Structure 1
Amino acid sequence: MARKKRVKGNAKAKEKFMQVFAEVRWKHRFDAEPKCQHFEKCGGCTLQQHSYEQQIDIKKQALERLVKETPGMSSLAKLELEAISSERDYKYRQRMDFIVTPEGSGQRRCDGQQGVVELEECALIENENYAIYAKTLDLSREFSIEAYDQKNYTGCLRYIIIRRTRTGEQLVSLLTTSSADDAKMEQIAQALLAEGVNSVYWNVNDNRVDDSLGECRKFWGQEFIQETLLGRDFILGPLTFFQANHEVASAAYSSVRDFIKECKARQIHDLYSGTCTMPVIFGDLVDSVTAVENFPENVRMAGKNLEANKISNVNLIEQDVAEFLQQEDLAMEFSVLNPPRKGMHEQALRRILELAPANLAYLSCSPRSLLEDLGILFREYKPVKIQLFDMFPQTEHFETLVLLTKKER
């Protein structure tokens, strides 16, 4: 009989996590006053009525219960779950995307109504970040840059994206349709540079799909801004993926680094490598790293990060992970897995079982897809540690790191 193909990221699994999270949450009484005036309407952060200590308890209990109730996770359920909190429970995000519509600009509503909340503040970003967003929005209206209408596909300005590093450098990206006026965009950019913004990008997206990504039409000021993480330098552009919470990301990457040291690994495969953040952080521990990433912009920025940190032992490969793993002569000792929210392709998971690296470090932003993938990996691996990293205070989101080692036969 043919094996039934597993459906990844199914709606029932997602509903299960949200159900568990909601049930755990409502067992905790509200013990804090929301700090943001938009709390009841804005969908940006929904846990403000819980103190931060209580938020950590809710997330930890929800993950523990989900692990316990998921078939095949008994070995994981036996491990003590360590929860790492954030140094900042507010103003921790270094990037925020603000949607622009004819009805207003800000974040989407969460109160059951359609539309956008016109923000007068945002508690998740630093004051300087919000001030530049507000200034950019005012400039767009001053120069009559018409807001994009997602329903009728008319208008121009779709998103204002603000990025600020812990060192204080700021990048503003305006996403428009191709109908934007060059002269007006020039005036807006120059005004922002005069306000102290380091980098201004004009990106274009004519697709009808609601997306904050676009192709660069022009930039002003610095081409990139720079962030420092665990003593390494990282180059950031408008499309660069970088963890939103600097301090918690440092803790997560340090755990991966410590595991590599403990295992005395010499060759690492970093799958879904992004901009090579982790290879830059642990590259000095090993002989070589093979970093695999298929998003062109990430690959371009990864090369710049390797160059900025003078790292020469990383082999950067632009290829889909599932395709890369099909090489016949491939050998793996230790693999770092950090896939997107939907998790790993089943073909890639089964190929890892065949290649049988001695140890794995799996960092995930989705407990649902993580447990789905572990259901396959546990056929040949056993978990040795699980950690919850609260990358996103005031929200239901978090990252989970599971460290695995090959079963003895």
Structure 2
Amino acid sequence: MKKRDILEVYVQEMEFGGTGYTDIDNIRLSYKNGIKGQKVKVLVKKVRKNKAEGKILSVIEPSPMETSEICPHYGRCGGCSMLSVPYENQIQLKKEQLINLFQNSGHTEIDDIEVKQSPSPYEYKNKMEFTFGDEEKGGPLALGMHMKGSPMGIIHVHSCMIVDSDYRKILNFTVDFFQNEKLPHYNILSHAGYLRHLVLRKGKNTNEILVNLVTTSQIDYDLTKYAEGLSNLSLDGSISGILHTLNDSLSDAVIPEEVRSIQGNSYFYDELLGKKFKISPFSFFQTNTHGAEVLYQTVKDMIGQKKSILFDLYSGTGTIGITLSDKADTVIGVEIIEEAVDMANENVKSNNATNCRFIAGDVAKVVSDITENPELIILDPPRAGIHPKGMSDILSFNAKEIIYISCNPKALMLDLKTLKNDGYEIKEAKGVDLFPNTPHVEVVILLTK
């Protein structure tokens, strides 16, 4: 095997996070995606002593597991990677991959783990960020997801199965409207153009929809007619607000340099386990509302008896702390994004969660200033895990229990080693699938001192 070889291989196994691999002559060839049992054509990109990296060029034969209904975009869209696999098989694969991840990371006490299912594997997303572009250079305006393996190409996902019919109607109306208006999409290479993104958010328990059109400031265009068209759509939910975000940054990310309200509110509401939350356009909120209810109920069950003081670190808009407010006398949340903290404190008032308070600041800096001593610490860090300074201060509280919620179990494995070296041991581990049809899953760990 050498660089630039093109091989036809069967996907032998899958590792957690979406990596497939095949062993060939004592060399492990790994590649992104791939479903166990598929026959794939792979371009070899890098070869070392006993391992190699490749890129799947095409699927020659489907896996015997691929028996589920798929949308017309599957295989080209860079969103779902496991839509063709029945959901119960997806759960089993995630379970096996998590066990292997724990075992191979030295946490051998985890030899089995339950992975709780999302209430639905379809139409579960409460937020989607669609991108304007074209499927091929110079082609008609498209609005949707990046093509798999093609960062420039955009595929119009008119029949996406992980969002509900309201998302599809708004998506299809938007692309038709701007095609007729002959407005150009933004080109990330030339930095010229107007239309950038369409961000849709919906309260799955309230049916409130927030529409956010993201453009550059290169064209002064009156969006009144667009807003009127949206308002006339026949939707199951109701549009609570229509926003226009101006973003002239060179990054392909949605950066809110200026947010204008075209119509209605600049926020919407959703509910989790009977608690109501106000959510701004850029606030973090779990992307699967009904899956998040399973996640938070799992955490509540792990807590057991009521605690005196509970810390909710990386608290976002306060969803976890407020949802758990009946499980502690006092809840203190810390979050680095000030807007999220403002929203959390509003949510405290609207839910009458008078035992909760939220502080703005970096966990790595703020935690050492808190004088209260927690009985339980809830950790829900970003994908990178916990900063060493923050971890040091967390450990200094010597809390009896820690519950770690992780959206990136690979980062979790490293943090668990640090926690165990400080005298904590894993008492319980659960998986909760918030991301059906993808290789990702949340993990919840209960540790005791």
TM-score (norm 1): 0.89
C-alpha contact (below 8 Å) 1:350/1:376 kept by paired residues: no
- Aligned partner (choices 108, 128, 132) of residue 74 of structure 1: 108
Does 1:243 find its partner at 2:286? yes
List aligned pairs for 1:220-239, cutoff 5 A: 220-239=263-282
C-alpha contact (below 8 Å) 1:173/1:202 kept by paired residues: yes
Structure 2: segments with no counterpart, 5+ residues: 1-13, 23-33, 38-62, 136-141
In structure 2, the partner of 1:403 is 446
Does 1:165 find its partner at 2:203? yes
Does 1:46 find its partner at 2:97? no
- For the pair shown, the structure with the greater C-alpha radius of gyration is 2
Higher relative contact order (CA 8 A, sep 6+): 1
In structure 2, the partner of 1:101 is 133
Alpha-carbon separation, structure 2, partners of 1:20 and 1:201? 38
Deviations 1:154-201 (A, max 9, x none): 11111001112223221111111123425x223222322333522111
Deviation at 1:370, TM superposition (A): 0.9
C-alpha contact (below 8 Å) 1:193/1:199 kept by paired residues: no
Alpha-carbon separation, structure 1, partners of 2:341 and 2:402? 23
User: Would you tell me which structure has more strand in proportion to its own residues?
Assistant: 2
Deviation at 1:146, TM superposition (A): 2.2
Structure 1: segments with no counterpart, 5+ residues: 1-14
C-alpha contact (below 8 Å) 2:345/2:357 kept by paired residues: no
Instruction: Give the residue type in structure 1 aligned to 2:193.
Output: G
In structure 1, the partner of 2:437 is 394
CA distance 1:240–1:329, change in 2 (3 Å) = closer
In structure 2, the partner of 1:62 is 97
Alpha-carbon separation, structure 1, partners of 2:102 and 2:335? 29
List aligned pairs for 1:341-352, cutoff 5 A: 341-352=383-394
Does 1:85 find its partner at 2:120? no
Alpha-carbon separation, structure 2, partners of 1:367 and 1:265? 27
RMSD: 2.2
Instruction: Give the residue type in structure 2 aligned to 1:74.
Output: T
TM-score (norm 2): 0.81
Residue-pair matches, total: 387
Alpha-carbon separation, structure 1, partners of 2:267 and 2:364? 31
CA distance 1:65–1:367, change in 2 (3 Å) = same
Aligned-pair identity (%): 30
Deviation at 1:128, TM superposition (A): 1.5
In structure 2, the partner of 1:208 is 250
Task: Decide which moves more: 95-104 or 125-134.
Answer: 95-104
Deviations 1:349-385 (A, max 9, x none): 1222222111011111101111111111111211111
Alpha-carbon separation, structure 2, partners of 1:53 and 1:206? 44
In structure 2, the partner of 1:194 is 232
Deviations 1:302-354 (A, max 9, x none): 12211221222212100000001233845222110001111110111122222
Q: In structure 1, the residue corresponding to 2:443 is in which secondary structure?
A: strand
CA distance 1:142–1:20, change in 2 (3 Å) = closer
Alpha-carbon separation, structure 2, partners of 1:169 and 1:300? 21
C-alpha contact (below 8 Å) 1:92/1:125 kept by paired residues: yes
Task: Decide which moves more: 345-354 or 147-156.
Answer: 345-354
C-alpha contact (below 8 Å) 2:367/2:393 kept by paired residues: yes
CA distance 1:362–1:398, change in 2 (3 Å) = same
Deviation at 1:230, TM superposition (A): 0.7
Which ranges of 4 or more aligned residues in structure 1 deviate by more than 4 Å? 15-25, 111-114
Q: In structure 1, the residue corresponding to 2:212 is in which secondary structure?
A: strand
Alpha-carbon separation, structure 1, partners of 2:298 and 2:115? 12
Deviations 1:79-108 (A, max 9, x none): x31110112111111111101124432111
